[in-house]
């Protein structure tokens, strides 16, 4: 029922087709009834004419006179009627005054002689008016006979309805054929329209689904009624793409502002330490020898600035990724091996669930950097004797790498700022690790996000299973 409601147009077309068929059927019945009624009317008039003519022939015979002259004079007022008398096995007084050939017709039609004789003899036997209707292939023949005197001649008349054996039968057949053809054309047209619309809507639906993933895709141009809709959708998509490019440009400007502010804040402390240490060294050079401890402070703070600069460069690095369709399990095994030593030192077990031979599209170097960063964060959040689990899950044409830990998890405020540059809750660190990792994933058509759990934390790396639409996605990201 719900499916029918969703396809109301197709349902309406089916109902229209059924109504057209019903109307055609009713029309055929009405035409048939009209033809039959017309036939009855024509036949009734012919029968009345024949009966009236034969009665007058009987009356005129009783008045005596030349039989042919009587018949000729009488039947002149009965168009299409011919007749005469039958007596002692012979036809006498035959006439057909309204014959349309122009020449006087004086011979009884040979094709109907036996019918007239049979009817006359039957009328003589019954001594009453006798009538007969003969249907031919093309004619309708009406005959009437009545005895003039008992044992005497028989007056007879005949009328031929030429070409109307079944009045207007050819018209009925033509009308029925036209109605049947119209009904079939209506049904075929309705079904074709319904199927065309259904296919068009299905293609548009598939196109809209594809547009959700491929921002450069546009609906094919159509010349039918749906073409206006497809053009409007394409115009809307173009406007949306332009708006998104402007929004991304503004986001980059805002991110650059936050990055500059955070970078300035982060480098202030190391620069202050270096400045103070240099001042101290200047004073000691005048009085006392320089100690190794004084130089160590300079080296540590310089290394701190170097790490900060490397993280910033990673965040803004413009190197294009080189994603390939490959198995993900070997890369994850390598990532786990890189943190095994740290895990043993913390007495934390790292477990890998490969999920079978899963292939997806990714840059192995960038994925390694991201997963190792997530594993180190998970180890840092884990308690001694805890466990970190890495598993591979396939969902909706996407491969997910889930990194779970048994730590305290993240609060609501932490989740809101989790991927912002320079945001961190650690005593040490730049707050760029997760921001850099997410940018690395998004640069190759994937993503990185956090999933809240009752206990512990879960970070999910999402990668496309196919590289086919990756170019369009990268263009969308870099636009």
What pLDDT is recorded for position 12? Answer: 60
Higher pLDDT, 217 or 398: 398
- pLDDT tens track for 444-471: 888 999 888 878 889 999 998 877 655 5
Last residue of a domain, one of 122, 145, 170: 170
Q: Residue 35: which of 164, 182, 207, 183 has the closest Cα?
A: 164
Average pLDDT of the segment spanning 37-59: 81
Average pLDDT of the segment spanning 66-87: 86
- Does residue 231 form part of some domain? no
- Does residue 192 form part of some domain? no
Tokens read off for 337 = 């091996």
Is residue 186 pLDDT above 50, yes or no?
Answer: yes
β-strand partners of 162? 139
- Does residue 88 form part of some domain? yes
Higher pLDDT, 34 or 378: 378
The CATH number that applies at residue 461 is: 3.30.565.10
Average pLDDT of the segment spanning 220-242: 76
What pLDDT is recorded for position 289? Answer: 65
Is residue 417 pLDDT above 60, yes or no?
Answer: yes
What pLDDT is recorded for position 388? Answer: 92
Last residue of a domain, one of 170, 196, 212: 170
Is residue 127 pLDDT above 70, yes or no?
Answer: yes
The CATH number that applies at residue 120 is: 3.30.450
What pLDDT is recorded for position 256? Answer: 60
Residue 401's pLDDT band, with cuts at 50, 70 and 90, is very high
Do the Cβ atoms of 321 and 471 come closer than 8 Å? no
How far apart CA 460 and CA 408 sit, in angstroms, is 17
> Which of 33-37, 39-43, 88-92 bottoms out in mean pLDDT, i.e. has the lowest?
33-37
What pLDDT is recorded for position 311? Answer: 59
What pLDDT is recorded for position 109? Answer: 86
What pLDDT is recorded for position 318? Answer: 46
What pLDDT is recorded for position 395? Answer: 83
Average pLDDT of the segment spanning 199-215: 76
Is residue 8 pLDDT above 50, yes or no?
Answer: yes
How far apart CA 387 and CA 349 sit, in angstroms, is 5
Radius of gyration of the chain from Cα atoms?
53
What pLDDT is recorded for position 403? Answer: 94
Higher pLDDT, 102 or 153: 153
Cα–Cα distance list, 122 to 54, 83, 134, 328 (Å): 15, 17, 16, 108
Q: How many domains does the structure of the chain reveal?
A: 2
Is residue 189 pLDDT above 60, yes or no?
Answer: yes
Angle (CA) 443-448-449 rounded to 5° is: 150
- pLDDT tens track for 292-318: 666 666 666 676 666 666 655 555 554
Q: Residue 108: which of 139, 83, 130 has the closest Cα?
A: 83
- Does residue 436 form part of some domain? yes
Give the CA dihedral 68, 73, 74, 79, nearest 10 degrees. 110
Average pLDDT of the segment spanning 108-120: 88
What pLDDT is recorded for position 228? Answer: 77
- Does residue 462 form part of some domain? yes
> Which of 61-70, 239-248, 442-451 bottoms out in mean pLDDT, i.e. has the lowest?
61-70
What pLDDT is recorded for position 175? Answer: 65
Last residue of a domain, one of 127, 144, 170: 170
Tokens read off for 293 = 């401890």
- Does residue 150 form part of some domain? yes
Residue 149's pLDDT band, with cuts at 50, 70 and 90, is confident
Percent above pLDDT 90 for the chain? 10
What residue numbers bound the domain in which 394 lies? 321-478
Give me the chain's average pLDDT, please.
76
> Which of 166-170, 177-181, 236-240, 303-307 bottoms out in mean pLDDT, i.e. has the lowest?
166-170
Average pLDDT of the segment spanning 160-181: 62
Residue 381's pLDDT band, with cuts at 50, 70 and 90, is confident
What pLDDT is recorded for position 6? Answer: 46
Is residue 255 pLDDT above 70, yes or no?
Answer: no
- Does residue 176 form part of some domain? no
Average pLDDT of the segment spanning 354-375: 87
- Does residue 19 form part of some domain? yes
Residue 479's pLDDT band, with cuts at 50, 70 and 90, is very low
What pLDDT is recorded for position 24? Answer: 64
Contacts of 74 (CB under 8 A, 6+ apart): 53, 56, 57, 60
Residue 70's pLDDT band, with cuts at 50, 70 and 90, is confident
Is residue 323 pLDDT above 60, yes or no?
Answer: yes
Is residue 98 pLDDT above 90, yes or no?
Answer: no
Residue 352's pLDDT band, with cuts at 50, 70 and 90, is very high
What pLDDT is recorded for position 161? Answer: 81
What pLDDT is recorded for position 28? Answer: 63
């Amino acid at each position: 029922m719900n499916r029918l409601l969703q396809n109301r147009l197709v349902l309406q077309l089916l109902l229209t087709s059924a109504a057209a068929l019903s109307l055609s059927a009713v029309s055929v019945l009405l035409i048939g009834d009209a033809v039959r009624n017309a036939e009855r009317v024509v036949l009734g008039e012919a029968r009345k004419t024949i009966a009236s003519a034969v009665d007058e022939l009987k009356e005129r015979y009783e008045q005596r006179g030349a039989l042919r002259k009587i018949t000729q004079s009488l039947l002149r007022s009965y168009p299409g009627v011919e007749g005469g008398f039958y007596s002692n096995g012979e036809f006498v007084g035959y006439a057909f005054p309204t014959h349309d050939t122009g020449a006087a017709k004086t011979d009884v039609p040979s094709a109907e002689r036996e019918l007239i004789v049979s009817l006359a003899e039957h009328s003589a036997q019954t001594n009453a008016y006798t009538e007969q209707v003969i249907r031919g292939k093309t004619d309708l023949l009406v005959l009437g006979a009545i005895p003039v005197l008992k044992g005497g001649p028989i007056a007879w008349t005949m009328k031929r309805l030429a070409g109307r054996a079944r009045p207007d039968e050819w018209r009925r057949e033509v009308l029925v054929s036209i109605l049947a053809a119209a009904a079939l054309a209506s049904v075929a047209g309705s079904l074709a329209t319904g199927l065309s619309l259904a296919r068009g809507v299905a293609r548009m639906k598939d196109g809209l689904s594809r547009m959700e993933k491929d921002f450069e895709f546009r609906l094919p141009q159509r010349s039918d009624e749906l073409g206006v809709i497809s053009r409007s959708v394409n115009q809307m998509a173009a406007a949306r793409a332009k708006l998104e490019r402007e929004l991304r440009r503004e986001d980059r400007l805002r991110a650059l502002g936050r990055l500059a502010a955070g970078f300035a804040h982060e480098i202030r402390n190391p620069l202050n330490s270096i400045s103070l240490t240099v001042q101290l060294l200047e004073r000691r050079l005048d009085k006392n020898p320089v100690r190794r401890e004084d130089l160590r402070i300079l080296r540590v703070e310089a290394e701190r600035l170097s790490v900060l600069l490397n993280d910033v460069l990673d965040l803004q690095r413009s190197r294009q990724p080189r994603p390939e369709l490959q198995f993900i399990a070997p890369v994850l095994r390598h990532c786990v091996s890189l943190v095994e030593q740290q895990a043993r030192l913390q007495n934390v077990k790292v477990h890998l669930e490969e999920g079978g031979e899963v292939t997806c599209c990714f840059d192995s170097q960038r994925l390694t950097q991201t997963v190792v960063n997530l594993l180190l964060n998970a180890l840092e959040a884990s308690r001694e004797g805890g466990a970190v689990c890495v598993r591979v899950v396939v969902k909706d044409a996407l491969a997910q790498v889930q990194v779970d830990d048994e730590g305290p998890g993240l609060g609501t405020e932490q989740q809101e700022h989790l991927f912002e540059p320079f945001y961190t809750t650690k005593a040490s660190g730049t707050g760029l690790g997760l921001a850099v990792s997410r940018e690395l994933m998004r640069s190759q058509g994937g993503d990185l996000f956090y999933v809240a759990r009752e206990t512990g934390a879960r970070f999910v790396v999402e990668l496309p299973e196919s590289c086919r639409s990756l170019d369009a996605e990268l263009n969308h990201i870099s636009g």
